[in-house]
Amino acid sequence: MARAGASLVIGNRGAKLGEAVMRAIEEAGGVAVFQVTIVSKPEDVTALVQRAVKEFGRLDIAFNNAGADGRQVPLHEQDIEKASLVFDVNLKGVFYCTKGGGSIVNVSSIFGLNGYPGWSLYSATKHAVAGMTKSAALDYAQRGGHTFPVDGGVCAQ
């Protein structure tokens, strides 16, 4: 995106990794800023969108790719606290970030298309992201936006 001329706002829960991504973009000649963001906190997502608007005047594209995989064990062995984290990051976080506006790209996973032993919670969240994104794309296409297919899903613009 930076090579194509986009200015980027990087949100990540880890400052070290987020700053490293920002520096790599800048070293490649791009423009980027970084902000610590916990996507499971709506106020962090709001602050990230506000940062984009403050720094660059608007938000054109949101690329939502945060994820937590939890424990890979059968469903009956899943810990409720860790399960909540998977749902909070993978589903609620994408939901919060999808409300930011612009053209939106939500990343699911092959786990959103198939089931895998030991991955029931992760797979459930990725199925939910795929379904939410497809339905939202149809909502906004009816309002004059455009949709296009992407790897078994649909995107809206």
**pLDDT at residue 128 in the model:** 97
Nearest to 52 by CA among 22, 32, 82, 76: 32
**pLDDT at residue 140 in the model:** 83
Catalytic choice (96, 116, 122, 140): 122
Collapsing DSSP to helix, strand or coil, 53 comes out as helix
Torsion-angle region of 54 (φ positive above 0: left; ψ -120 to 50: alpha; else: beta): alpha
**Pairing outcome for strands 147-150 and 153-156:** antiparallel
- Domain residue ranges in the chain: 59-156
Backbone angles phi, psi at 102, to 5 degrees: 80, -170
Domain at 59-156, CATH homologous superfamily: NAD(P)-binding Rossmann-like Domain (3.40.50.720)
> Model's pTM, two decimal places?
0.86
**pLDDT at residue 146 in the model:** 58
Give yes or no: 140 in active site: no
**pLDDT at residue 3 in the model:** 87
What is the residue-level pLDDT of the chain in tens, covering all 157 positions?
888 999 999 999 999 999 999 999 999 999 999 999 999 999 999 999 999 999 999 999 999 998 999 899 999 999 999 999 999 999 999 999 998 778 899 999 999 999 999 999 999 999 999 999 999 988 888 777 655 555 545 554 4
Nearest to 118 by CA among 77, 57, 81, 60: 77
